[in-house]
Amino acid sequence: MIWSAGLVCLPGLYVQRAHVASGPSLHRLQGLVRFLYVAAMSPAAFVAIGSGTALIFLRETWAPWFGAKLFFVGLMATIHIMTGLVIIRLFDDGQIYPVWRFLAVTVVTVVIIAAILFLVLAKPDLAAMLPAALPDWMAEPGGLGRWLGELSPFPRS
């Protein structure tokens, strides 16, 4: 929750950069943003990813919905990294965070979080829904290796 909330909130704080003059106000905003990222969001992300990884082995979750959830968690981690890169540059002189970027990042983040919640709570039977839309090799164990082997210009030994 903390990680998700931080990813949704920080772009709103970034937009405030354009409305804050240099000096103590700017330093307070920068301190708040860095504190949220370093002391709250990053440890929460570490705990979320670590506990999720442990659950794979404890619960033996090998269902397709779990793989889809991991994909969306990977997207969240990517947004987290990009957020850190924004923080590094945002508080340089003359930098602002455009409103269109705030809207885009916030919408994408909320959609990703909603997708994770849907997958975790509904646990949809993706295996039953996807085989008709996917090639046969994607629905069978080891299919990727066989497919790559067929594409390889080198003979298999």
Mean pLDDT of 5-32: 92
What domain range includes position 62?
2-124
Q: How confident is the model at residue 154 (pLDDT cuts 50, 70, 90)?
A: low
Q: In this structure, are 12 and 70 located in the same domain? A: yes
Q: In this structure, are 23 and 87 located in the same domain? A: yes
Contact 3/48 with Cβ under 8 angstroms? Answer: yes
Q: In this structure, are 41 and 113 located in the same domain? A: yes
Q: In this structure, are 66 and 82 located in the same domain? A: yes
Q: In this structure, are 90 and 157 located in the same domain? A: no
3-state secondary structure of 81: helix
Q: To which residue do tokens 């970027």 refer?
A: 101
Nearest CA-CA partner of 12 in 105, 128, 120:
105
Task: State which H helix or E strand residue 101 sits in.
Answer: helix 99-122
Give the pLDDT confidence score for residue 149 in this predicted structure.
74
Give the pLDDT confidence score for residue 145 in this predicted structure.
76
Q: In this structure, are 25 and 61 located in the same domain? A: yes
Give the pLDDT confidence score for residue 118 in this predicted structure.
94
Task: Give me the number of domains the chain comprises.
Answer: 2
